[in-house]
């Protein structure tokens, strides 16, 4: 039968060019107030616990905050006091950082026959999120146009319209590393007519 451990408090004041402090704490409750004043500060935090309360106050001319949370339930409260604040979803964030991936091409299929217009193999250690696809044909008059999004030979979605198609996916389609993502198109003009199309999205490194 284990006994209770005594309470323990220790104050640290450290001055140095480079300081490394590995810390392992086992206790029923842990509170660690931290104040950092530095020209540059990098803090990497990994927490595994049944319950986590993390209060953060940052005062800086420029702040980059990358947060990755894996939890059954997560409550996040933000208070911003700044001249301007931008909050991006994943697609807009990757677009903001010029990390989009576009694939386009063309083919000249016989009327009513689908042909691969654009293909891409997702690189190793990447996940590709498709956010839109579009295409059109060069028919002299009105012609029905269809486009398939195909991943590893399986039809994922299809869009149809007259002379052209376009769709933005509110929920991106996910393709894992090594998958072949393709746009197949067809036109119904009664003749062999060129179709052009493309798809776009962004990669996330696994």
Domains of the chain: 100-205 (2.60.120.230)
What is the pLDDT at residue 76? 77
Residues whose CB is less than 8 angstroms from the CB of residue 69 and which lie 6 or more positions away in sequence, other chains included: 76
Tell me: pLDDT of 93 over 60.
yes
Tokens describing residue 6? 């005594």
Distance CA 19, CA 41 (A): 12
Q: How many residues does the chain have?
A: 206
What is the pLDDT at residue 119? 96
Average pLDDT over residues 93-114: 87
Give ∠ CA 131-167-137 in degrees, rounded to 5.
Answer: 120
At 1, is the pLDDT very low, low, confident or very high (cuts 50, 70, 90)? very low
What average pLDDT does the structure give for the chain?
Answer: 84
Tokens describing residue 123? 């690189």
What's the pLDDT tens digit per position in 25-68? 777 777 777 777 777 777 777 777 777 777 777 777 777 777 77
At 185, is the pLDDT very low, low, confident or very high (cuts 50, 70, 90)? very high
Closest by CA to 109, choosing from 158, 147, 159, is 147
**What secondary structure letter does DSSP report for 82?**
S
What is the pLDDT at residue 158? 93
Tell me: pLDDT of 6 over 90.
no
Average pLDDT over residues 64-84: 74
At 178, is the pLDDT very low, low, confident or very high (cuts 50, 70, 90)? very high
Distance CA 159, CA 185 (A): 10
Tell me: pLDDT of 81 over 80.
no
Torsion of CA 13, 19, 20, 23, to 10 degrees: 10
Average pLDDT over residues 103-125: 95
The pTM for the full model equals 0.61
**What secondary structure letter does DSSP report for 7?**
P
- Alpha helices (runs of H) in the chain, residue ranges in sequence order: 90-96
At 116, is the pLDDT very low, low, confident or very high (cuts 50, 70, 90)? very high
- Structural contact between residues 90 and 174, judged by C-beta atoms closer than 8 angstroms: no
Q: Which of 2-6, 17-21, 138-142, 161-165 has the lowest mean pLDDT?
A: 2-6
Tell me: pLDDT of 111 over 70.
yes
């Amino acid at each position: 039968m284990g006994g209770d451990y005594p309470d323990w408090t220790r104050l640290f004041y450290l001055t140095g060019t480079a300081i490394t402090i590995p810390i392992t704490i086992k206790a029923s409750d842990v509170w660690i107030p931290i104040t950092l004043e530095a020209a540059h500060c990098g803090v990497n935090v990994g927490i595994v616990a049944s319950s986590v309360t993390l209060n953060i106050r940052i005062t800086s001319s420029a702040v980059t905050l990358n947060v990755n949370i894996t939890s059954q339930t997560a409550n996040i409260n933000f208070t911003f006091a700044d001249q301007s604040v931008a909050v991006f979803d994943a697609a807009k964030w990757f677009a903001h950082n010029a990390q989009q991936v576009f694939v386009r091409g063309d083919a000249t299929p016989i009327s009513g026959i689908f042909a691969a217009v654009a293909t891409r193999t997702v690189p190793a250690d990447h996940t590709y999120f498709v956010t839109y696809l579009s295409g059109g044909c060069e028919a002299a008059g009105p012609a029905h146009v269809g486009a398939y999004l195909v991943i590893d030979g399986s039809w994922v979605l299809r869009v149809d319209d007259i002379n052209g198609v376009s769709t933005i996916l509110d929920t991106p389609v996910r393709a894992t590393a090594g998958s072949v993502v393709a746009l197949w198109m067809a036109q119904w003009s009664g003749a062999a007519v060129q179709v052009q199309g493309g798809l776009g999205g962004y990669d996330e490194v696994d």
